Structure 1
Amino acid sequence: MRKEQVIYGSYTIEFELKYSKRKTLGVKILPDTSVYVTAPLELSLEKIKENILKKASWIIKQKTYFLNFNATEVSYEIKSGYTVHYLGRQYKLVVEKSIKDEIAYKGNLFLISVKNKEKAQFLFDQWIKDRAIHKITEIAKPIIKKFSKRFFTPSEIFFQDMPTRWGSCTIKDKLIFNTKLIHTPKRCIEYVVMHELCHMIHKHHNDNFFKLLTLMMPDWRKEKTN
């Protein structure tokens, strides 16, 4: 693959370009906002860039969508009237004094009851992390089970706060997920799980990796063709 870019107004679109025997130009936007372009062998770079510019509005829209769920952008402050995302939905926060520390949610509200309001942030951080481990594991189980019918899968998964990544697969095939995933839609979590599972088989984002990802999760991609 080679790196190229086009200028669309004040916006620079960088993309990875690869030629193949396909008949049309394909553009894929990954959840990490990277852009992959696959072009017919006979198509010139000039024509490729012309096509990218025609799709520029769509590309920017898709990148913006995924940026809304960027690990580096997930932050919140626990105060009444503020909001926090949980599984992609936005919840309003209500913090109140109580004789015991407790967190409950119903409808579109998170009710945070605390003895000391200054500890509301700490209480919620601990609660959301525990909830993330439980819920992400629950979502991951059927995906791992599906993958295990074809390939080896680990007996357990691990969690870690990561400043820039949703998940990782180590050289020793240890799967690690960012607890901040709990703020994103379920579909995003499913994608990250399958993405890291595929890295157990193919460590790099090459053709074989994307073929496996498509085989295991056919509707994973946001792709636009001619």
Structure 2
Amino acid sequence: MRTATHQFKLGNIPVAVSMKDIKNVHLSVHPPEGRVSVSAPLGMAKDTIRVFVISKLGWIKRQQAKLRQQEREAPREFINRESHYFNGERYLLRVVPLAPSQGAAHVQLKHKTMELHIRPDASMESRATVVSEWYRQQLKLAVPSIIAKYQKMMKVEVAEFGIKKMKTKWGTCNPNAKRLWLNLELAKKPPECLEYIVVHEMTHLLEPSHNDRFVALMDKFMPKWRFHKDELNRLPVRHESWGY
């Protein structure tokens, strides 16, 4: 896809503009601080784009205010009795010393406890890696059934999906490759929120932009999607030094 970029300011709000081979203008406000970006059709006049953004200024400021008020998780140290989340439920971490003869480090849920079985001398980074990989595997187990359910309903095909850490999005879709990428953090959220993001990205296989047709398709395939979107936006997000 051909692209060209430029930037302008509305008062103290920087707006990044990407000119692409698309039909419609798409405006986004990104976490955590409300960075504003616009995707516009190639050849659209800069003044036209500016007027469009000005017309959405009230909406932009409301979205920025929501993002800045969203609760942040405290930094995790992966120590005993620290809170961790899975499927929207809170678990207390229990670090279980693992002898060399007991196999590889792993995570196990027991009632409301998340047991991290790991060598006693493991660093915080090693502990974080084991937990992250466990989250990744849980998503890899959960996502295929969601995709299978909605492929039949939507009459589309997902060629593959992947899980990765993403700083500004819950998911992405490449319609040409029929590939979905999902944010690793979704493992911590309620299953309905994960399902909403999968459906959102799959809908992009039918409609690449967030236009009226996209909204109508979401209403058709997941009538309560707005509720799940609001729930996801209310939940605490990972503590991180976000960058772009």
* TM range, smaller chain: 0.5 to 0.7
Which protein, 1 or 2, shows the higher relative CO under an 8 Å CA cutoff with sep ≥ 6?
Answer: 1
Matches within 5 A, 1:29-40: none
1:109 to 113, 128, 131: 113
Structure 2 counterpart of 1:156: 160
TM-score normalised by the chain length of structure 1: 0.60
Structure 1 counterpart of 2:235: none
1:188 to 183, 190, 193: 193
CA deviation after TM superposition for structure 1 residue 142, in Å: 3.4
Partners of 1:97 and 1:206 lie apart in 2 by: 52
SS of alignment partner, residue 92 of structure 1: strand
SS of alignment partner, residue 194 of structure 2: helix
Partners of 1:117 and 1:93 lie apart in 2 by: 17
SS of alignment partner, residue 203 of structure 1: coil
Alignment check: 8 A CA contact 2:106 2:130 kept: no
Partners of 1:174 and 1:142 lie apart in 2 by: 15
> Which amino acid counterpart does residue 109 of structure 1 have in structure 2?
T
Change (3 A) 1:220 1:163: same
Partners of 1:140 and 1:221 lie apart in 2 by: 23
Structure 1 counterpart of 2:177: 172
CA deviation after TM superposition for structure 1 residue 200, in Å: 1.1
Alignment check: 8 A CA contact 2:106 2:134 kept: no
Partners of 1:160 and 1:200 lie apart in 2 by: 20
Change (3 A) 1:167 1:149: same
CA deviation after TM superposition for structure 1 residue 137, in Å: 4.3
Partners of 2:74 and 2:157 lie apart in 1 by: 29
Change (3 A) 1:117 1:188: farther
Alignment check: 8 A CA contact 2:81 2:94 kept: yes
> Which amino acid counterpart does residue 226 of structure 2 have in structure 1?
R
**Unmatched runs of 5 consecutive residues or more in structure 1:** 1-31, 35-48
> Which amino acid counterpart does residue 161 of structure 1 have in structure 2?
K
> Which amino acid counterpart does residue 78 of structure 1 have in structure 2?
F
Alignment check: 8 A CA contact 2:109 2:115 kept: yes
Matches within 5 A, 1:1-226: 67=70, 76-99=76-99, 100=102, 101-119=105-123, 121-170=125-174, 171-222=176-227
**Unmatched runs of 5 consecutive residues or more in structure 2:** 1-30, 35-57, 230-244
Q: How many residues align?
A: 170
> Which amino acid counterpart does residue 175 of structure 1 have in structure 2?
L
TM-score normalised by the chain length of structure 2: 0.57
> What is the root-mean-square deviation in Å for CA atoms of aligned residues?
3.6
> Which amino acid counterpart does residue 166 of structure 2 have in structure 1?
M
CA deviation after TM superposition for structure 1 residue 79, in Å: 0.9
* % identical aligned pairs: 21
